Copies of this chain bind each other. A is one copy, B any other.
């Protein structure tokens, strides 16, 4: 990314004409008494545009795919939407026909309140897998959330809280830029900390090229006041997700519920633009920036994560090879534990490169480290053999909370980047689960 756009506050309500809210309606059935318990984390969010908006979406390619994803895939195809209802605490995944009915019923309940066609309402869920949604609670939550819909920062802040599960902090970002003299804004909120290695596509179907190893629930809801055709919006979102959410991994597990939705309501008043225009270039760059910032927040807040490592592979014969090498290294239990330990163990990195499905030649591989985004690389290995850096220097290179790992295969011109994390005792401890709270973690 060459140009960085101006960061602004208020995430999803920064663009004109968007409202949001978030409430607690006890979707995990904590049984803390009747009605809304103000001491509990919110668990149901609404995002609404004042006017119908162009919509684009990207969805998990997991073949076991949650009911809300199935509903969205169908509705997003129409290209128009106006509202999103999202719950945490229950993924509504592996819930069969009842799950599908419940997902549709959530949208219908909201559509009735807002007097809009049910097809214009989208839905997202995250939380336990395999548990039926407590629909009475959900309906009560929607009833309350509708009354709280708000243009103010509080609405967005409540919505982002409501979509969190194992997240330790809210994740939101927005930018502002000009398109033919008009001020345009893009904002987003997201969640995700475990079950994170998204591989999303427009239809939820797997592209052949991505079939190897693409594997969070991560949810991301983006808003913009740009005026743009749905088809153009879809192209922009596919590109932005390919460079951001589809390039992160916390634990290598692709969720049943991964969803990114982008609503563009046109209230900025710019002229609509086509794919081969400078306006599209600007919009794409701004959307890329928002998605990448949000994606990196997910990795940094990954379950038990102590260190964030950007794996940069270059010199591969093909992008597929570069991606395969980056993912093999980024998902190797031994490499990830060495990152946790601050150990510049290149043997484990070489091992993972070697077993990746990519074609590699041991004697050509370079491995080095830099500061995040830095150009000055401290080489650990050159052409498969230890370089001049001392062990002390290498330890210093992998000591920061964030660093870049550079792998040059020296076989071709293709590259790939994966935003990865270490593997810690805290991850294991968190995910070994609490048998007293069955199925507490999931999609």
Which of B199, B331, B342, B354 lies in contact with A435, CB distance below 8 A? B342
Chain A 361-390 interface residues, beta-carbon cutoff 8 Å to B: 361-363, 365, 381, 384-386
Complex contacts, A362 vs chain B, CB 8 Å: 63-65, 94
Chain A 190-232 interface residues, beta-carbon cutoff 8 Å to B: 194-195, 199, 211-215
Interface centre among A61, A64, A386, A431 (most CB of B within 10 A): A64
Minimum C-beta distance from A82 to chain B (A): 30
- Indicate how many identical chains form the complex: 2
Say whether A256 contacts B350, CB under 8 Å.
yes
> Known contacts A334-B251, A355-B215, A385-B96; is A360 also within 8 Å of B63 by CB?
yes
Say whether A354 contacts B211, CB under 8 Å.
no
Complex contacts, A439 vs chain B, CB 8 Å: 345, 347
Say whether A354 contacts B96, CB under 8 Å.
no
Complex contacts, A93 vs chain B, CB 8 Å: 347, 350
Complex contacts, A213 vs chain B, CB 8 Å: 213
Say whether A345 contacts B391, CB under 8 Å.
no
Is A254 part of the contact surface with B, judged by Cβ < 8 Å? yes
Is A428 part of the contact surface with B, judged by Cβ < 8 Å? yes
Complex contacts, A355 vs chain B, CB 8 Å: 61-64, 199, 214-215, 253-254
Complex contacts, A94 vs chain B, CB 8 Å: 346-347, 350, 362, 381, 384-385
Is A357 part of the contact surface with B, judged by Cβ < 8 Å? yes
Contact with B along A161-192 (1 / 0, CB 8 A): 00000000000000000000000000000000
Complex contacts, A441 vs chain B, CB 8 Å: 334, 345, 347-348
Say whether B128 contacts A351, CB under 8 Å.
no
Say whether B347 contacts A130, CB under 8 Å.
yes
Minimum C-beta distance from A11 to chain B (A): 29
The residue in chain B whose Cβ has the minimal distance to the Cβ of A217 is: B351
How many residues in A have their beta carbons less than 8 Å from beta carbons of B?
75
Say whether B433 contacts A423, CB under 8 Å.
no
Is A255 part of the contact surface with B, judged by Cβ < 8 Å? yes
Minimum C-beta distance from A281 to chain B (A): 34
Complex contacts, A253 vs chain B, CB 8 Å: 332-334, 348, 351-352, 355
Q: How far is the CA of A443 from the CA of B362 in the complex (A)?
A: 15
Minimum C-beta distance from A438 to chain B (A): 5
Say whether B65 contacts A354, CB under 8 Å.
yes
> Known contacts A62-B355, A360-B63, A362-B63; is A333 also within 8 Å of B425 by CB?
no
> Known contacts A333-B431, A432-B341, A433-B341; is A363 also within 8 Å of B96 by CB?
yes
Say whether B251 contacts A333, CB under 8 Å.
yes
Minimum C-beta distance from A203 to chain B (A): 16
Say whether A343 contacts B433, CB under 8 Å.
yes
Given contacts A94-B350, A129-B347, A194-B334, list 17 more A-B pairs with CB under 8 A.
A62-B351, A63-B362, A96-B363, A129-B348, A199-B355, A213-B213, A252-B331, A253-B334, A334-B441, A337-B431, A338-B431, A338-B432, A341-B433, A343-B432, A343-B438, A345-B439, A427-B428
Query: Can you list 21 pairs linking A and B with CB atoms under 8 Å apart?
Result: A63-B353, A63-B362, A64-B350, A91-B347, A94-B362, A94-B385, A195-B351, A252-B332, A253-B333, A253-B351, A253-B352, A256-B347, A337-B427, A337-B432, A338-B432, A340-B428, A341-B432, A343-B432, A345-B442, A347-B443, A425-B428
Which 5 pairs of residues, A with B, have the shortest CB-CB distance? A129-B347, A64-B354, A341-B432, A343-B433, A337-B431
